[in-house]
Amino acid sequence: FEEGLATEGDLPTAYDIPGIARVYGRRPLLVLRRSLQIGTSFGRWFALRYLDSLNDRADDMFEIRAAQLRRILLELGPAFVKIAQAVSSRPDVIPPAYLDELSLLQDRIAPFSTELAFDIIEKELQMPLDMIFSEMSPKPVAAASLGQVYQARLRSNGKLVAVKVQRPGVQAVISLDIYILRFLAGVARKVGKFNTDLQAVLDEWASSLFRV
User: Are 189 and 161 part of one and the same domain?
Assistant: no
pLDDT score for 11: 77
Q: What percent of the chain has pLDDT over 90?
A: 58
pLDDT score for 56: 92
Domain membership of residue 11 (yes or no) is: no
Residue 211 has pLDDT above 80, yes or no: no
Residue 45 has pLDDT above 60, yes or no: yes
Domain membership of residue 19 (yes or no) is: no
User: Are 158 and 175 part of one and the same domain?
Assistant: no
User: Are 78 and 175 part of one and the same domain?
Assistant: yes
Least confident of 12-16, 198-202, 204-208: 12-16
Q: How far is CA 30 from the centre of its chain?
A: 18
User: Are 146 and 180 part of one and the same domain?
Assistant: no
The pLDDT tens digits for 113-142 are 999 999 999 999 999 999 999 999 999 999
pLDDT score for 6: 64
User: Are 149 and 191 part of one and the same domain?
Assistant: no
**Cα 144 from Cα 184, distance rounded (Å):** 26
Ramachandran sector of residue 149 (left: φ over 0; alpha: ψ -120 to 50; beta: rest): beta
User: Are 144 and 53 part of one and the same domain?
Assistant: no
Using the CB atoms, write b or e for 17-48: b if 16+ within 10 Å: eeebeebbeebeebbeebbeebeebeeeeeee
User: Are 137 and 59 part of one and the same domain?
Assistant: no
Q: pTM for the full model?
A: 0.80
- How many distinct structural domains can be found in the chain? 2
Domain membership of residue 18 (yes or no) is: no
User: Are 103 and 128 part of one and the same domain?
Assistant: no
pLDDT score for 108: 67
Domain with 55, as residue range(s), is 27-108+170-210
